[in-house]
């Protein structure tokens, strides 16, 4: 059975038009000649159904479609009922031949989710800037999320049409042709699995959890960096609010909301997987529980990415405050590295370098050139192995990041 969602909502766009006997989306493609030759429709009937569905689509687009309470059980019966009013019930009645609402619902979900994930793919872009290594740590994490998203889309984009309610289709339909017409990359090969499979929703939820964990950690860092104690960054007014108690204070509301949304998304994933784990083969009514987490998570993720992009695009960095926070104690490791180059065992250097205020008294191997260690810029530049903090390493990471973003889905 199809879910009891109100007909006409955007999530069921695919469901409005996937009922043609030989498949196709009349808003996207003109079906090729011969696609009505499964022996069920004449060429004239095919033309009437195609035109009729286009007329139905226009009514949805103009918000003029009238839902009939008590008659329209779901989006599929609503479309079929209206099609019959437009072209006649005798022809429209053939629309559902060889179709099961189980497979139609699964197809609707995959088409809707495929299109939404492709939109999210367009949102998910890293924006590295020159306070660099921290930014790139998240930029590369988000780029890896983008790679995982592209892999997820490949598995979402498989067609269940032709699987029937569970045992397949008896009318010799061309499943490959229908899949191609609807923009799918291939087929689900087992009819029982095809109508019951919601792994594509679970995988999307898992991917979303990973992304939102990264966004949450990024937001937490910026919340800390924006505090008065650090003051490394300042949020734009559009992404923060004033404090009723302290007028000079800015509350990082946008970042706190992003951090909070991550818990919601992770919870959706866990909850849905608990639904899946105990289901028997083929379609079970429990699978209606896939709709709400799918819809809510897609919206939460899409909104969160755009908010994060807005925060980053309007963020004011304060390099003077960053420089003021530098402390010579941060260079203890550089002193240890200095001693390693003098031949001191690495484990011993950590004890010695912790007492560098009286360097010569601690160890005679400290020579006048040790003064070069007390240079923050040099300290950063010394980390020149791939993935390090030197400028060349940062530029290399940016090049790697750009390649990841440019890679085809």
| pLDDT tens for each residue of the chain, 409 residues long | 333 333 333 333 333 333 332 333 333 434 443 445 567 788 889 899 999 999 999 999 999 999 999 999 888 889 999 999 999 998 998 888 877 888 888 999 999 999 999 999 888 775 434 578 888 999 999 999 999 999 999 999 999 999 988 888 888 889 999 999 999 999 999 999 888 999 999 999 999 999 999 999 999 999 999 998 899 999 999 999 876 666 667 899 999 999 999 999 999 999 999 999 989 988 899 999 999 999 999 999 999 999 999 999 999 999 999 989 888 778 777 777 777 777 767 666 556 555 555 666 666 677 677 767 778 888 888 888 898 888 999 999 999 999 988 876 4
Architecture of domain 323-406: Orthogonal Bundle (1.10)
Q: How many residues does the chain have?
A: 409
The HSE-up count of residue 301 (CA atoms within 13 Å, CB side) is: 35
Burial class (CB in 10 A: 0-12, 13-18, 19+), 114: buried
CB of 352 closer than 8 Å to CB of 365: no
Q: Which CATH number fits domain 101-319: 3.40.50.2300, 1.10.10.10, 1.20.200.10, 3.40.50.300?
A: 1.20.200.10
- In the chain, where are the structural domains located? 10-96, 101-319, 323-406
Does the domain at residues 10-96 carry the CATH identifier 1.10.275.10? yes
> What is the dihedral angle through the alpha carbons of 88, 94, 99, 101, rounded to the nearest 10 degrees?
30
CB of 284 closer than 8 Å to CB of 275: no
- The CA distance from 54 to 335, in Å, is 74
- The CA distance from 405 to 409, in Å, is 10
- The secondary element (H helix, E strand) that includes residue 85 is helix 75-87
Beta strands 233-234 and 316-317 are antiparallel
Which 3 state secondary structure label does DSSP give 250? strand
The counts of H helices and E strands in the chain are 17, 6
- The CA distance from 30 to 42, in Å, is 17
Kindly give the interhelix angle for 132-156 and 199-225, rounded to the nearest 10 degrees.
170
> Max CA-CA distance within the chain?
101
Token digits of residue 284: 């079970």
């Amino acid at each position: 059975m199809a879910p009891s969602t109100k007909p006409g909502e955007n999530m069921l766009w695919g469901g409005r038009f996937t009922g043609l006997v030989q498949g196709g989306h009349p808003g996207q493609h003109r079906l090729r000649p011969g696609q009505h030759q499964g022996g069920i429709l004449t060429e004239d009937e095919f033309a009437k159904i195609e035109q009729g569905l286009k007329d139905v689509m226009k009514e949805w687009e103009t918000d003029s479609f009238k839902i009939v309470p008590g008659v329209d059980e779901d989006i599929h019966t609503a479309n079929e009922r209206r099609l019959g009013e437009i072209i006649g019930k005798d022809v429209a009645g053939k629309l559902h031949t060889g179709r099961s609402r189980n497979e139609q619902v699964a197809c609707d979900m995959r088409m809707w989710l495929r299109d939404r994930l492709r939109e999210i793919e367009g949102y998910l872009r890293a924006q590295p800037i020159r306070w660099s290594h921290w930014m790139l740590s998240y930029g590369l994490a988000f780029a890896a999320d983008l790679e995982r998203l592209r892999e997820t889309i490949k598995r979402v984009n498989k067609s269940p049409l032709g699987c029937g309610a569970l045992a397949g289709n008896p009318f010799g339909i061309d499943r490959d042709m229908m899949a191609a017409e609807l923009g799918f990359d291939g087929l689900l090969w087992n009819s029982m699995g095809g109508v019951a499979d919601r792994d594509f929703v679970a995988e999307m939820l898992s991917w979303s959890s990973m992304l939102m964990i990264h966004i949450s950690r990024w937001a937490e860092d910026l919340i800390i960096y924006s505090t008065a104690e650090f003051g490394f960054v300042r949020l734009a007014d559009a992404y923060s609010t004033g404090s009723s108690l302290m007028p000079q204070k800015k509350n990082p509301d946008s970042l706190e909301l992003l951090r909070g949304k991550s818990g919601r998304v992770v919870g959706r994933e866990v909850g849905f997987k608990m639904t899946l784990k105990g289901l028997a083969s083929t379609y079970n009514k429990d699978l209606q529980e896939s709709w709400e987490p799918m819809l809510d998570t897609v919206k939460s993720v899409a909104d969160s990415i755009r908010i994060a992009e807005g925060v980053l695009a309007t963020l004011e960095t304060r390099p003077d405050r960053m420089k003021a926070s530098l402390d010579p104690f941060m260079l203890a490791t550089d002193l240890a590295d200095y001693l390693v180059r003098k031949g001191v065992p690495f484990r011993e250097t950590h004890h010695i370098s912790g007492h560098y205020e009286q360097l010569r008294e601690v160890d005679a191997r400290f020579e006048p050139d040790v003064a070069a260690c007390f240079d923050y810029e040099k300290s950063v530049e010394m980390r020149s192995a791939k993935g390090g903090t030197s400028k060349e390493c940062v530029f290399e990471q940016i090049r790697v990041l750009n390649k990841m973003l440019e890679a085809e889905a």
